[in-house]
Every structure is written in structure tokens, then in C-alpha cells.
Structure 1
Amino acid sequence: MLPEGLYKRRRGHNNTPPSVLLILTNCIVLAVLIQLFIGCSTINNFFWIAIGILALYNVYNIRRNREEYNKLNVIVYIVSILIMLFLFYYYSNQPHNC
């Protein structure tokens, strides 16, 4: 049989680390921004404004959860940012249907 307290442990999904939530938020926001604001010849200015707001959110979130970011989490965060930069340049250089 199942243990009695099995379903009580994950109440509200409070066990997801803030670093994972930040990386997922960055990936989702960047994917939406790339789809909406990268055109055939230029990049819309709202894209850069939204990226700036996302950067401010990252700084706020990292400062708020300072104890969460140990050396491994910082390395994973930096790798995720580098992967997102690569995806940005890859998708912006692809031919678009104009």
C-alpha cells in the first residue's frame, strides 16, 4: 500500500527550487518574445525592452533567493543563459516567411 503522508508532501508544489523556476521562466519568455517580435529584417524595440525587464526580474529573483544559488546552481544558470543566447541567434538568422 501507499504511505499515508505521500500526497501531503507536495502541497502547493513548494518543493520546486527557485533556480529551476527562474530558468523555466526565462526559457518560456524568450521563446514567446522570439516568436512575436523577431521579424524578417529587424528586431522590434519592444523585444529589447522585454529582455531588459526579464533581466531585472532575474536580478530581483537571485537577490531574493541568495542562499539557493550555490556554485552548481550558478553554473547551471549561466549555461542556460548561454543556450538561450545561442537559440536567439539561431532563430533570428533563419529565413522567415515574409
Structure 2
Amino acid sequence: MLPEEVYKRRHYGTPQSVQLIIANFTVLTVAISIFAGGKHVNWFFWVLMGLLVIYNVLNIRKDREEYNRARIIAYVFSVLLMIALFLAIRLKV
């Protein structure tokens, strides 16, 4: 049998906050390319963004102890970057 210490070890892999930011950018880029690439933004794009917001709120509430000041700043910066990405793609800059 394995010692009990093996089961108590914690794996410090990719933090949940980084996985959340990666998931946000992935969903946003796919949604923009499918639903907001033309002249008009499809209504389903906004539904998808609303679902993404709900997912973010639930994920942050679940892992609240992981979010320190630096990770909150990184998350807010990523949200601002996603807004800039949306505007840049829509305006074809």
C-alpha cells in the first residue's frame, strides 16, 4: 500500500484563473468568427456572451480563495483585452 502522504499531496498545475482566461478567449474568438464576422452581429452571439458571463461568475465564486490581487488584475485586464479584440475585429482594424 501507498503511504497516506501520497494522497495528501497537492498538485500545483495550471491555476483555475488561467484556465478561465484561456476558456474565455477561446469561446470569444470562436463566437466572433461564427456569429459576428459579417455586417451584423447575430443575436446568438449575445446569448453566448451572457452564458459566458454566468460561467465566469459561478467559476469565480467556486474558487474564490484562489483569486488574489494579482490574479484579479490579470482577469480584469483579460476582459478589457477581449473587449478590444471584439472591437478590433468588428471594425476590421
**Range class of TM-score, shorter chain:** 0.7 to 0.9
TM-score normalised to structure 2 length: 0.84
Secondary structure of the corresponding residue to residue 31 of structure 1? helix
Separation in structure 1 between the aligned mates of residue 12 and residue 70 of structure 2, nearest angstrom: 21
Q: How does 1:58-97 map to 2 (within 5 A)?
A: 58-94=56-92
More helix by share: 2
Partners in 2 of 1:31 and 1:72 — Cα distance? 25
Residue 25 (structure 2) aligns with:
27
- Secondary structure of 2:21's aligned partner: helix
Question: What TM-score, normalized by structure 1, do the two folds share?
Answer: 0.80
Deviations 1:38-81 (A, max 9, x none): 14321000000000000000000000000000100000000000
State the identity %.
Answer: 46
SS of corresponding position for 2:92: coil
Aligned length, in residue pairs: 83
* Residue 53 (structure 1) aligned to one of 16, 31, 51: 51
Supply the AA of the counterpart residue of 1:91.
Answer: I
Structure 1 residues not aligned, in runs of 5+: 1-12
Structure 2 residue 30 is matched with structure 1 residue 40: no
Unpaired runs of 5+ in structure 2?
1-10
Q: Residues 12-61 of structure 1: CA distance to partner in whole angstroms, max 9, x if unpaired? A: x7611000000000000000000000143210000000000000000000
User: 2:60 & 2:52 partners in 1: Cα distance?
Assistant: 12
List structure 1 segments (4+ residues) > 4 angstroms apart after TM superposition. Answer: none
